Structure 1
Amino acid sequence: MQTIKTNIDWFDKLIPDGLPVKSTTIITGPGGSGKPLIGEYFLSSWLKNGGSAVIISLQYPSPEFVMESVKNITGTDMSNYYDNLIFIRLNTQIQGYEQINKQLIEANLVKPDVWEQTLDFTTKQLSANNPDIMVFVSALNLLLFSPTYGELIFNKIKDTLKRNTHLTYVFSVSTSAKKDEIAQLEKMADNLMVSRSEKEPFCLYMRIERLKAGQFEHNEIQIPVSADTLNHIKEMANHSRAQVLPAILKT
């Protein structure tokens, strides 16, 4: 693969040449503006085209929620691609990382060394069968709230972006807090996309700010998603506030 095309008309009109592979993409916007679902379009297409993926969805309590979201948004059943997937679930109660089964790792990702070790371990496992690997991370900004490790993991994430030459990274981050740090990540990314929402009625919008290569449409568009999907976004935002963030604040 040289680029990722979603094969969805409205999305491919925005980036007719596709998203460059082996690049870093940051999707930013306020909380609850649908950033992960934008990335999930790319994830779906990546899997359909034979790629493998490491998935770190910090706002989701389990891989099943990720799979449900991707199916609701794109129609893709991720269970058809299980051999090409590894999920990493945040667990702040352990020291390092633990392999739960072939498809699931638990890791204390607020620690920079664990972040690096876990990514190295999972990408090496997948690369044995497939060199085309996407690292998909949603709600990445949550890690920055760790009182002990926040600055350290931020520097490690920047290092990950700077050193990348062979993986395709798709990160979604909220601009509702840690704005200075997020602005630094935005500047470092090869590709930058911005989302926002309106509340009454609840609608999502996105625009392409920058691409490493290829043509793109500059105008903002409304993302055509169902009411069920929008409600799912709200539920996950509530889970992040109620469960994930308090756990990270204790580290």
Structure 2
Amino acid sequence: MRQIDLTGKRAVVVGGATGIGRASAYALAQAGANVVTLSRRSRAASFDGPSEVAARITHRALDISRREDVVRTFSQLATGGLDIVVLSAAVIEPASAVDADDALWRRHMDVNVDGTFTCVRESIRHMLAAGTAGKVVVIGSISGLVGNPGFAAYCASKGLWVNLTRQLALDCAPRGINVNSVLPGFTMTDLADIYDDETKATIAAAVPAKVWAAPEQIADAVLFLASPLADYVHGVSLPVDGGYVAAGPI
């Protein structure tokens, strides 16, 4: 059986200080990759486990809504080479389409759409310039496939990535770059704090697996798509949701 070995690979995880991004950074480092995490936080995330794994993870502060900073940062990172880029930064705030004001809508678009796209575009440009194969994995959401009442801006921003992942794959597959998305279901990160305990229990009951995901379970899918095991996988948006989407309307 083939094992995932990313020794010597150079990975960047945007939004890598918390939640799914943090778990993904650690999973990549466990597989041997050297990982740079990027987030608005100036301090690096703390990692439990073997010190040699944590030593392969470094951190830089970056606000991806600032286009010039993104371009400059990826140019600097690309000098050492880019093999894997994971996009996990996100904004989520509750508001229906009727209640969402311009500022809330703009915050979602600045990070979830424009900022993430700039990171993806710059990553691919540098991979192409270097003439190397690469893996780009966008963390979307099942909210890009199904509605989530009261989260209009978030659903809109995540829905864009389902189709854009396909288009990017068409552009990049002939050049040896894999672009795919992971669509997490309800996952126990700090973003889950927008729900109270009763709502969390109600949601869990609606998931066929009857539990929320742990960030590490989403990171397992990221690790697969970032690895040579997924060399022939292009343009896929993979739900990792305990069967929520498969169950249909609940």
Instruction: Check whether TM > 0.5.
Output: no
Q: Please state which structure has a larger fraction of its residues in strand.
A: 1
Q: TM-score, normalised by structure 2?
A: 0.44
Q: TM-score, normalised by structure 1?
A: 0.44
